[in-house]
Chain A
Amino acid sequence: VSPQEREGEAAVGRGIRLPVFVLLLAVSPALAVATTGTKALALAAVILPVLMLASALQSLLGQGVSSGTRLVLHILLVGILVTAADFIFQALAPVLRRELGIYLQLTAASCVLLGQVSDPPERSAARSLAEACGLGLGAGLGLTAVACVREALGAGTITLRLGTLGGSLRLPWLAEHPATVAVQASGALLVVGLLMGLARWAGMKRSTS
């Protein structure tokens, strides 16, 4: 861990305790609907640009604003951007939009929480943009990974499709005996918990060896 990173963690830690759980809370509405790789990619495609644009606009508009007002501004910006994303989806991918339902709009809540983690006020504009990009990518990748595991176990397929790109894969045995728990909300928490435990265990092993 570099000193800068430790500093960043400390800054996060001052504002919000237990950022891991905040992150989990932030992505949980998205997890509820991310039952296929495609849906997760769509959500990631909302979260990443919204986070980055919100961060950039925040740096533009938020100069010299008090911290309480910053939060209001941030929520407003995210709300506007997610609504815009919703309209874009309705125009370009109405079927996917219908499948995602309310959860597309609910990503606003995720983005607000993620933005709070990524955006301590004293950061420079470039730094917080980079942070938002990293966080958006991380959340998107995490969502997609979890969704793929869930889809593989719960439906026996893995589909990753954005527009005309990508395709779907049918897993030989699992497709006939899908474990339906994996695509339910409880399955999402199970998979996330196991992945988090695995990541932490790997981290612990690295730090002890």
Chain B
Amino acid sequence: MKKMARGGVEIASSPHIHRGVTTAKIMWSVTLCLLPASAWGVFVFGLPALRVLLTAIAASVLTELAISSLLKRLSIADGSAALTGLLVGLTMPPSAPVYVPVVASVFAVGVAKWAFGGLGANWVNPALAGRLLVLFAWPELLSRWDTPRLWVSGVGASPAPLASLARQASGGVGGGSFTAMAARIPPGSALDRIVGTALDRLLGSHGALPEGLLDLLVGNRAGAIGELSAILLLAGAAYLFARRMIAWEIPVSMLGTVALLAWIFGGRRAGLPAVAFQLLGGGLMLGAFFMATDPVTSPLSPFGMVIFGIGCGALTYLVRSLGVYPEGVAFGIVLMNMLVPAINRLTHRRGRDRRARVREVRR
């Protein structure tokens, strides 16, 4: 924080009220909350996943160390570099060659964060910027959906990009229902079948669970390291909500928008399974709870956050259903990151307050 002493009065820019929660505390808490999902990714994919995660974190921390010591603003303890590295690693497929996470992390910390002035001054989420750079640089390595090595029954286990599946679901043109998608991604494991039938019996006549839903929830599916398990990601997010470290407005409006669009454009037959697939598939959970909520690159006011979340969701759905790349979450969030200053200006509190005060005075 830059502070100027003028006649003994300390002048600093907002925020002025301190809640006793430091940046470092938030960063380490978020990192901690991501650990279950990360551990699950390593468990499902094995050592390659661990290698990708560790390389990403190491590259990120080393870059931070190098730049911050060069600028004599040592900042490694605030944990932001480790978190950025972890997030970069979580968005990678475990089969990514070692240089991919390294380049992504170095770009995230060196260019997206420090070139714009360091933590608090970055205008897009650093981890997503790094992820998008390597996606553009080596598209064939990053659009891959690696299949889990556990519990996969052999039916059509070939990795399929989300794009074609989402298009099938959204237009209903290909006639693909969620069951058909679930048969391919994830392949519908034995566990899913057993628990699914048990639950169906429990539900009785209230209808059957779509096949593959449980696999999606638990995270027995193809995808990047950190995006697999919706339940573990939600558990981490729940802790952050409870500690009021992330705002609920952004993930709720983002997920709600994707769900609404998937429901509207899902076609008559796809219906709710398509919604579930859009919400639980791909990187939406990871992005909505752990990336879109980054306080630096999201709006200040609750109303602004809702606008931001809706934009993220709509762009995500748009890229998923019409785009060239298989996943749209990173694009949606980064594009909305760029609009944050405009959203802040639109939803600025002071204007409304002043108008209210003027009205009071007139009365």
Do these two chains really belong together in a complex?
yes
A177 neighbours in B (Cβ, 8 Å): 97, 99, 138
Chain A CB within 8 A of B351 CB: no
Contacts of A27 in B (CB 8 A): none
Residue of A nearest to B138 (CB): A179
Interface size for B (C-beta < 8 A) is: 11
Contact indicator A180/B115 (Cβ below 8 Å)? no
Tell me what chain A mostly uses at the interface: helix, strand, loop, or mixed.
helix
Q: In this assembly, does A94 line the interface, its C-beta being within 8 Å of a C-beta of chain B?
A: no
The answer on a CB contact under 8 Å between A180 and B111 is no
Q: How far is the CA of A179 from the CA of B133 in the complex (A)?
A: 9
CB-based contact A184/B136 at 8 Å: yes
Question: Contact between A180 and B99 (Cβ–Cβ < 8 Å)?
Answer: no
B4 proximal to A (CB < 8 A)? no
Q: Mark B126-152, 1 if CB is under 8 A from A, else 0.
A: 000000011011110000000000000
Give Cα distance in the complex from A3 to B97, angstroms. 55
- Least distance between B154 CB and chain A CB atoms (Å): 33
Interface of B is mostly: helix
Rounded to whole Å, the gap between the CB of A119 and the closest CB of chain B is: 34
Residues of A within 8 A of B103 (CB): 179
Chain A residue numbers with a CB within 8 Å of B134 are 179
Q: Residues of B contacting A15 with CB < 8 Å? A: none
* A182–B133 CA distance with the chains assembled, in angstroms: 10
Interface assignment of A90: CB less than 8 Å from any CB of chain B: no
CA distance A131 to B344 in the complex (A): 44
Type the 1/0 row for A171-189, where 1 means its CB is closer than 8 Å to any CB of B.
0000001011110101100
Interface centre among A181, A184, A187 (most CB of B within 10 A): A181
A197→B138 contact, CB < 8 A: no
Number of interface residues of A (CB under 8 A): 10
Interface hits, B85-116 → A, CB 8 Å: 97, 99, 103, 111, 115
With A177-B99, A181-B133 known to touch, is A194 a contact of B111 (CB < 8 Å)? yes
Q: How far is the CA of A186 from the CA of B331 in the complex (A)?
A: 15
Query: Given A180, A184, A186, A187, which contacts B138 in the complex, CB threshold below 8 Å?
Result: A180
Q: Is B115 within 8 A of A194, CB to CB?
A: yes
Which residue of the partner chain B has the closest CB to A198? B115
Q: Within 8 Å CB of B97, what residues of A?
A: 177
Closest A residue to B133 by CB, please name it: A181
Cα–Cα distance between A177 and B136 once the two chains are bound (Å): 13
Return the chain A residue nearest B97 by Cβ.
A177
Q: Is the CB of A181 within 8 A of B137?
A: yes
Q: Kindly state the separation between the CA atoms of A186 and B334 in the bound complex, as whole angstroms.
A: 15
CB of B106 to closest CB in A, whole Å? 12
| Shortest Cβ gap from A182 to chain B (Å) | 7
CB-defined contacts of A181 to chain B, threshold 8 Å: 133, 136-137
Set of chain B residues within 8 Å of A194, measured between Cβ atoms: 111, 115
Across the A-B interface, the 4 shortest Cβ-Cβ residue pairs: A179-B137, A181-B136, A181-B137, A197-B115
Given contacts A177-B99, A179-B138, 15 further A-B contacts (CB under 8 A): A177-B97, A179-B103, A180-B137, A180-B138, A180-B139, A181-B133, A181-B136, A181-B137, A182-B137, A184-B136, A186-B136, A187-B136, A194-B111, A194-B115, A197-B115
